[in-house]
Amino acid sequence: MEIRFKSADERAALDRALESARLEWHWKRRPSLQTLEGPWRRFVLQVEQSFEEDLIEYEHQLSWRDTLQDIIDQVPFSIGQQIREHLARWDDRFRLATAAGEESVDIDEVHRGRWWYRRIPRRGGDLVKAELRLRKRT
């Protein structure tokens, strides 16, 4: 993912956002955007094929998109827009591989409003769907 910076301030803002992600996840080194995008891309490919893991793993994989969104939210609009444009292909593929469901993964206020938490896999996802139904009952 190549970002075009208009100023050193924009570069510094992205560096701060990436450092924030490093601290949040307790990583030894600051990640790159490519490092963060990779797990989201692989997860989308997995969901397109058939997601057979449980709800905890599904939520964990969604957290990669959260991290990318957190970075978008911390950088100047022009940088965030470039990141959004780059992610659009994978976000669109995720939307196609999932369906809006009554059983939302939207688990707390932090995640509320993030569209990917309101999507469940079209293929597979039986464990996710069953656990969401159980969660809804309690």
Three-state secondary structure call for residue 121: strand
How many other CB atoms sit within 10 Å of the CB of residue 97?
20
Q: What is the pLDDT of residue 111?
A: 62
Task: Tell me the whole-structure pTM to 2 decimals.
Answer: 0.89
Is the model's pLDDT at 17 over the cut of 90? Answer: yes
Q: What is the pLDDT of residue 109?
A: 59
Element (H, E) at 17: helix 8-25
| CA 56 and chain centroid, separation | 15
Q: What is the pLDDT of residue 93?
A: 98
* Residues contacting residue 50 through CB under 8 Å, at least 6 positions apart: 121, 123, 124, 125
